[in-house]
Chain A
C-alpha cells in the first residue's frame, strides 16, 4: 500500500430491528491518504457514522452486523480481526472522538485516571510515567494549569474543555489516524471555532490523518482537503474540497449547498429546499436512493442505482445527469 493509509472496499453494514433489517451502509469504498483530512458529510441516518464505527469494530452486535467488505490498514484487514486484536489497534494506532463530550467520559473517575488508562494499556508506561504524560497532553490541548486539573472530575469541566480532554485522550498514544465523529455538533460556535483551530494545529504538529464526520458543510470547508458526501448508505460524491464547493455535481450536494443561507451573504430570497425527506432503508435500494427527491430524475434512475464514476481527476459522482445541462452525461 504505497500511499493509502486506510483502504476500505465494499463495506456493508446492516441492523436487525423489530420492523425489519435496516441497510445502513450499502457498499462503501474509499481511501484515506497519509496526512490528509477527509471530511464525511451527510444528514442523520445516511450511514456516515456507521461506516466509521464498522471499520473500528464498534458496531454493537447484535443488532448490527458488518455483512461484507474489507478495510486494510498496514496490510491487515481490520474487519477480520478478533476483538482482542482490534482492541490493540483502536486507541493506539486509530483513535476516535465522539459527538457528545458529556456522555463519553466516565463521571466517577478523575480526568487524570481516564487519561492514564489507555497509556498504560497500549504503551506499557508505569503509573507515574502515564500521569506525567497525561499532564503534558492536557497542556497540548490548551487546558490551563494542566497538572492541577488532573484530579478533577468531568463535571468540573465545561463542554468545550471536555471535548479537549477527549482529544487529548485520543492523541495520547500518537495514533496515525484520528476519527472525529461530529466532535463540534454539541458545542457553541465560538467553542467550535476553538476546537477546529486546535485540531488544525495538532494535525500540523503531529502529522496524523484525520477523518472528520459532520453534517455541517461549513466546518468541512474549513478543515478538510477531500470530502465524501453520503446519502442512503452510499457515497454519492467524492471530490477535493475546492472542487466540491466550486463544482458540486450530484443533485443532492447541490440541494444541500442551496438550502444553506450564508452568514457572509446578503441574499434574502427564498431558500432552495429539497422536498421530501431522507429514506428509511428497510430494503437495499435497487434504484437511485435520491430519485424520489430529485428534480432531474429520469426513467433510468428509478430502475438502476448509478455507480460512483469519475467525472474528472479525483472527482467522482454517482449520478447520470449532468446538472448543468439537465441531460444524461
Chain B
C-alpha cells in the first residue's frame, strides 16, 4: 500500500485505565470501572492498526488514553521513543502537534458557532504556526486536500452533510501535519454510500503524507479493508492480534471466531453456507470483571483453568498473538 518501515512509531506497554466510582456522603471510592486493563501493542510507522470490539470493550478509552486525554492508571506509552506518560504540560503540548484525533460524531465534534475556516485554523492558532495570511492559505489548501470547496470556508457546520462534516474534522486533524492519527469510529455515524468516500479519502491521505493510523471501529468488514494488522478487544483486554488476512482466515481465539461468524455477509448464498457461533448472554460489567480470562463466562470451550489464571498474551505464530489458555 505505501512505504511501511519496521520503525516502531508507537509502543503501548501494559496500559491501564481505571475510572474510580465514588459513593456516599464522604464520596469514598467504592470501586473502579476497569475500562482498559493491561493492553500492550506496537504501531509501525506508515501502517494502520485496527482496534475492534463491541461497545464497552474499552477500544475508545484505549485510543484516548494513548493520546493522554485521560491520565492512565498504569503503564507507558512511547511515541517516537519518548514516554508520554508523566510528560510535563509544555512538552506534551509540543508532542500534540504530531498526534491528532478524528472523532466519531461529526455533529458533536465541530463547534456550531465557528466557521469552517476558524475550525480548521484553530490548531494553527493554538500552536502559533504562521501569520494570518499564511494560515488562510493553509486552510484553503487543507480543504482542497479533503475535497471540499475552499469557497465554503465561511460557512457554519450545520450547512454541511454528515460526510462533509467528517471531512472538516479530517482537515482539522491534518492542520499541524501530524504523523499519527487516532481515528475513533470515524465512519460509524455515516450512511453506507458515504462511508466508502471517507475511507477512500483516509487511504489517499495516508499514502500522500505517510500517516500512521490507529483505526478504532466495530465494523469488522471495514476494519479488514483498511487495516494492516488488527487487534481484537474484549472487556478491556486485547484477546488477539494478527495481520489482517491471518486474523480473518485463521482466527484462534474463541471470541474472535464468534465475532467474525456473527458479521452478516451481503450475499445470501455465501451467508447460508456459513457456520454461526452464537454467543450466549451479554458482556459482563467492567466494574467487576470475571476472574481469570475475561471471556470465560461466554466462552463455548471454557475450562477450569480459565477461571483460575489470566491467560498470557503470547505469540503463537510469527506476528500472531493470542490470549487464551486453550490455544495450542
Give the B-binding residues of A (Cβ under 8 A).
43-44, 158-161, 188-194, 196-197, 215-222, 241-242, 245-246, 255-264, 266-268, 270-275, 277-278
Contacts and interface: CB of A to CB of B under 8 A. Distances in A.
B191 A271 contact: no
Contact of A190 (B161, B199, B258): B258
B288 to A, nearest CB: 15
B264 A222 contact: yes
A179 to B, nearest CB: 20
A302 B101 CA distance: 41
B95 interface: no
A218 B219 CA distance: 12
B266 A189 contact: no
Contacts of A159: 282
Nearest to B280: A194
B220 interface: yes
Interface residues of B, number: 46
A193 B273 CA distance: 15
B191 A44 contact: yes
Nearest to B193: A274
Interface in B239-286: 245, 248-249, 258-272, 274, 276, 278-279, 282-283
Identify which of B265, B268, B274 gathers the most chain A CB atoms within 10 Å of its CB.
B268
Contacts of B73: none
B267 to A, nearest CB: 5
Identify which of A262, A263, A278 gathers the most chain B CB atoms within 10 Å of its CB.
A263
B98 interface: no
B55 interface: yes
Contact of A257 (B195, B264, B266): B266
Contacts of B271: 218, 221-222
A261 B222 contact: yes
A190 B191 contact: no
Contacts of A275: 197
Given A159-B282, A189-B220, 15 more contacts: A189-B259, A190-B258, A192-B264, A197-B278, A218-B264, A218-B266, A218-B271, A220-B266, A263-B221, A263-B263, A263-B265, A266-B248, A271-B225, A274-B197, A278-B193
Contacts of B169: none
Identify which of B54, B265, B270 gathers the most chain A CB atoms within 10 Å of its CB.
B265
A242 B268 contact: yes
B21 interface: no
23 contacts: A43-B192, A44-B191, A158-B282, A160-B282, A189-B218, A189-B262, A189-B263, A190-B54, A190-B279, A197-B276, A197-B278, A221-B264, A221-B271, A222-B271, A262-B221, A263-B260, A263-B263, A264-B274, A266-B248, A272-B196, A274-B193, A277-B193, A278-B193
Given A190-B259, A261-B225, A222 B268 contact: yes
B224 interface: yes
A245 B272 CA distance: 13
B203 interface: yes
B72 interface: no
B278 A264 contact: no
B262 A190 contact: yes
Nearest to A160: B282
B194 interface: yes
B163 interface: yes
A218 B266 CA distance: 4
Contacts of A246: 269
Nearest to A259: B196
A158 to B, nearest CB: 4
Given A256-B193, A271-B196, A271-B225, A264 B262 contact: no
The 9 closest A-B pairs by CB, nearest first: A218-B264, A259-B196, A261-B225, A273-B196, A193-B262, A188-B54, A271-B196, A217-B266, A43-B191
A264 B265 contact: yes
Identify which of B218, B260, B267, B269 gathers the most chain A CB atoms within 10 Å of its CB.
B267
A193 B257 CA distance: 13
Given A260-B221, A270-B203, A277-B163, A218 B265 contact: yes
A59 B294 CA distance: 45
A257 B225 CA distance: 15
Contacts of B266: 217-218, 220-221, 245, 257, 260, 262
B283 to A, nearest CB: 8
A277 B270 CA distance: 30
Nearest to A161: B282
Contacts of B259: 189-190
